[in-house]
Amino acid sequence: MRRAVILLVVFALVDLVRPLGSSGYGAQALLAFGFLVLAAYTVGEIAKSIHAPAIVGYMAAGVIFGPVGLEALSHETVVRLQPVSALAVALIAFLAGAELRWEEVRERWAALLKVTGTELALSALALGLTLFLAGPYIPFLRDATTVELVAVAVLVASIAIVHSPAVTMALLTETRAHGPVARTTLGVVLISDVVVVMLFSGALALVRSLVPVSGAAGPGVLAIVWEISGALIVGGVLGAGIALYLRFVAEELFLFALLVAFLGAEVARLTHVETLLTLLTAGFIAENFSPPARGQALRHAMERSAAPVFVVFFALSGAEIDVMTVVRLLPLLVPLALVRVGAIWAGTRLGGRWAHLPQEERRWLWMGLVSQAGVAIGLAAIVAEVFPGFGEGLRSMLLALIALNESVGAVLFRRALVASGEYVPGAAATPEPDDSRLSAPGSS
């Protein structure tokens, strides 16, 4: 409470200073960055005190102080702070990759593929069918032909099944959970992120053959192949470089961690490969080919440098949520979200049984897969370009659905970790096992 009062005093003081200055040299962005971190940190602490994940608080701070709230952040400032979001995505991907050990991946890949495949297939089917059947009742799809409805259902379903590595990693960093539920969730989220990019490209190609789409929206097949395979190559080279640095230099790790994230994101952008997959591969290679102690030191340096970046990333996500649109579309969103959650639940249950996952994992896994963010937002923009007639309506619906899933998903994942006993609120984090970060199926 004390911090909330101080935050409001700071808000008033910042408002007082406004007439005295002018933007330039990033002053306004830095001012907004500082205030946003302070606000998100405060609201995050409040969220924690009511047993909600801190990231929900960060997002709430973004909504409260963002362009639709108290306007402490303007639209221009949100745009100016986008490099921080890009940095966060790079750090998240690298950290996620660094969490995976080769021996464990080799041991678990079949189980993870079975769970991911079943879950994604069921979710896509359920969401596609729901959209197709509900299409005539959705205002902006009322005039769509049957073929157009099929196309919309296919494309939207391929986006709505995406999970969020950002939310998953943020929660794992916050709770320091590393039990079977946490590890399996991370594995499924990472695999599905790659699969969804390919699925979306296939869906886009199908839609192009069904309906005449506008412009050159969406990448071609070759571009997609390069986006994925190139990411593995670029990430591999980057990871090897990092491993060499850790082996022979291993100094200034805090600065090096930031440099890796910036450099990785920039190289991915310049070579037109998937940023997330590039950094994920780099993290995986760096961690698995470096002396363990040094790899761990780099991960800790990255986690430390990522802390305020994560805060801003989620607060900016909150600032970009159009609350009014979410409220307006709520009657449409709630059924869609419920169908998605139901499909994820059924998919993980079936897939888990097929992969012989222990009962405890099968029981809680679905809760970690509800969150959405990142890639889904970019794909939603492509859908808007594909259908000029009702594209904007679709984009708003998808963004609102992502916002809903992002906040609810974080709460659910935290509950899953608490319920499975992998995170005890208020207790000191259990030490991370050095040699078995992904536990084998049946080991719990």
**For another protein, the closer CB: 159 or 258:** 258
Give the residue, chosen from 258, 279, 316, 402, that forms a contact with another protein under the rule CB under 8 A: 258
Q: Which of 322, 337, 339 is nearest to 393 (CA)?
A: 322
Give the residue, chosen from 1, 2, 106, 435, that forms a contact with another protein under the rule CB under 8 A: 2
Written as six digits, the tokens of 275 are 């940023």
**For another protein, the closer CB: 249 or 327:** 249
Nearest distance, CB of residue 37 and another protein, angstroms: 4
x/- contact string, 18-57, with another protein (CB under 8 A)?
-xxxxxxxxxxxxxxxxx-xx--x----------------
Nearest distance, CB of residue 395 and another protein, angstroms: 28
Segment contacting another protein by CB under 8 A, of 105-113, 136-144, 252-260, 371-379: 252-260
**For another protein, the closer CB: 83 or 335:** 83
**For another protein, the closer CB: 19 or 331:** 19
Contacts of 239 (CB under 8 A, 6+ apart): 97, 281, 282, 283, 284, 285, 286, 289
Nearest distance, CB of residue 243 and another protein, angstroms: 13
Segment contacting another protein by CB under 8 A, of 3-11, 107-115, 137-145, 146-154: 3-11
308 binds another protein (CB under 8 A): yes
**For another protein, the closer CB: 44 or 409:** 44
378 binds another protein (CB under 8 A): no
Q: Report the distance separating Cα 189 and Cα 201, nearest Å.
A: 19
Alpha helices in 289-358 (DSSP H): 292-319, 323-328, 330-354
Instruction: Tell me which amino acid residue 250 is.
Output: A
**How does DSSP classify residue 428?**
P
**For another protein, the closer CB: 251 or 435:** 251
**For another protein, the closer CB: 245 or 413:** 245
Nearest distance, CB of residue 203 and another protein, angstroms: 35
Segment contacting another protein by CB under 8 A, of 11-19, 123-131, 400-408, 430-438: 11-19
**For another protein, the closer CB: 60 or 191:** 60
- Contact of 167 with 94, CB cutoff 8 Å: no
**Which residue has 């009657």 as its token pair?**
331
Segment contacting another protein by CB under 8 A, of 63-71, 183-191, 216-224, 258-266: 258-266
Q: Between vectors from CA 230 to CA 79 and to CA 316, what angle results, nearest 5°?
A: 20
The string of DSSP letters for 387-430 reads: -TTTHHHHHHHHHHHHHHHHHHHHHHHHHHHHHTTS--TTSPPP
Nearest distance, CB of residue 39 and another protein, angstroms: 9
3-state helix vs strand vs coil in the chain, percent to 5: 75, 0, 25
x/- contact string, 91-130, with another protein (CB under 8 A)?
----------------------------------------
**For another protein, the closer CB: 6 or 110:** 6
**For another protein, the closer CB: 8 or 381:** 8
Taken in order 29, 31, 33, 35, the sign of the CA dihedral is negative
x/- contact string, 149-188, with another protein (CB under 8 A)?
----------------------------------------
Cα end-to-end span (Å), the chain? 40
Q: Which of 218, 212, 214 is nearest to 148 (CA)?
A: 212
Nearest distance, CB of residue 10 and another protein, angstroms: 6
Q: Report the distance separating Cα 399 and Cα 321, nearest Å.
A: 8
Give the residue, chosen from 79, 221, 255, 338, that forms a contact with another protein under the rule CB under 8 A: 255
Taken in order 160, 165, 171, 177, the sign of the CA dihedral is positive
Q: Report the distance separating Cα 217 and Cα 425, nearest Å.
A: 46
Written as six digits, the tokens of 260 are 């890796």
Residues between 54 and 93 that touch another protein (CB under 8 A): 83
Q: Is 2 exposed, middle or buried (0-12, 13-18, 19+ CB in 10 A)?
A: exposed
Distance of CA 28 to the CA centre of its chain: 27
Q: How many residues bind another protein (CB under 8 A)?
A: 43
Q: Report the distance separating Cα 294 and Cα 250, nearest Å.
A: 7
Nearest distance, CB of residue 299 and another protein, angstroms: 14
Distance of CA 376 to the CA centre of its chain: 8
Residues between 220 and 249 that touch another protein (CB under 8 A): 241, 245, 249
Q: Between vectors from CA 13 to CA 7 and to CA 17, what angle results, nearest 5°?
A: 140
Q: Report the distance separating Cα 265 and Cα 272, nearest Å.
A: 10
List residues binding another protein (CB under 8 A).
2-3, 6, 9-10, 13-14, 17, 19-35, 37-38, 41, 83, 241, 245, 249, 251-252, 254-255, 258-259, 263, 304, 307-308, 311
